[in-house]
Amino acid sequence: MKTLIVSILGVLGLGIAGISGFFSPLDQDVEPYKLGEVVSDFTLSTFDGKSISLSDYSGSKGYIIVFTCNTCPYAKLYEDRIMTLANKYSDAGFPLLAINSNDPALKPGDSEDEMAKRSNEKKYTFPYLVDTEGVHAQFGATKTPQVYVLDGDKKLQYIGAIDDNPQSEDGVEIRYVEDAISAIQSGSSPGTKETRAIGCTIKPRT
C-alpha cells in the first residue's frame, strides 16, 4: 500500500511538473496591462538578431503592437492586412511591431529561420520580433493575431481584433484598429476599446 501511494504521488508530481513547465513564469506572475495603463519599454530581437526596443520609437504619435506568427491560419489570413496597417500608418507616426511568441520546439514553422523566410518573401516593412522574454504575458496576449494600439504617451487604448471579418477583407464592415488610430489622431478615445481576438492560441516558450 505504501509503495502504491508513493507511486501515485510520483505520477501526480510528474503531472503537475509537466503542467507547470508548459507555461512561462510570466504567464503566471505578470498582471497584464489594462486599458489606459502606460506600457513599459521592452526589448526583443528580430529573427536575425537585431535588438529592437519600444523606446526606439519614442516621440511617435502612437504604436501598433501585433502578436502574430507564421503558422496560424488566421495569422495568414490577416497577414496582408497587417502589412497594409504598417504601410499606411508608419508615415503617420504609428510604427507597427510584430511579435511571434510561439515556441519553435512546439511550432517548428515559427523558428527564426522560418520567420526570416516569411519576412523576406512578403517583404515586411516592420520589425518581426522573437518573444524570448514573455512580452505576450505582459500584454495579456493569448491569440494570433491580437493587436494592441497605444497612444503617443504609450497608454493602451485598444485591445483585440484587427477588424470584424477574419475570413475575408472584402467582407469587413468595422476596422477596429483603424478606428482606434483615427480616434487617437483626433485627440479622443476609441469608441470601441476592446474586442475578442479570433485566432490560434499562443504556444509560448517555457
Inter-residue contact 72 to 106 (CB < 8 Å): no
How would you class 150 by CB atoms within 10 Å of its CB: exposed for 0-12, middle for 13-18, buried for 19 or more? buried
Task: Return the pLDDT at 85.
Answer: 98
Dist. CA 137–CA 203, nearest whole Å: 11
Percentage helix, strand, coil, to 5, in the chain?
A: 40, 20, 40
Model pTM score = 0.85
Dist. CA 158–CA 65, nearest whole Å: 10
Task: Return the pLDDT at 6.
Answer: 33
Inter-residue contact 166 to 199 (CB < 8 Å): yes
Task: Return the pLDDT at 30.
Answer: 79
Inter-residue contact 115 to 146 (CB < 8 Å): no
Task: Return the pLDDT at 133.
Answer: 96
Residue 47 identity (one-letter amino acid): F
Inter-residue contact 48 to 80 (CB < 8 Å): no
Dist. CA 63–CA 150, nearest whole Å: 5
Q: Which residues of the chain have pLDDT under 50?
A: 1-27
SS (H, E, C) 138-172: HHCCCEECEEEEEECCCEEEEEECCCCCCCCHHHC
Instruction: Transcribe 78-145 into DSSP letters.
Output: HHHHHHHHHHHHTTTT--EEEEE-B-TTT-GGGSHHHHHHHHHHHT-SS-EEE--S-HHHHHT--EES
C-alpha cell at 204: 509560448
Summarised one tens digit per residue, pLDDT across range 60-87 is: 999 999 999 999 999 999 999 999 999 9
Indicate the fold that domain 31-201 takes in CATH: Glutaredoxin (3.40.30)
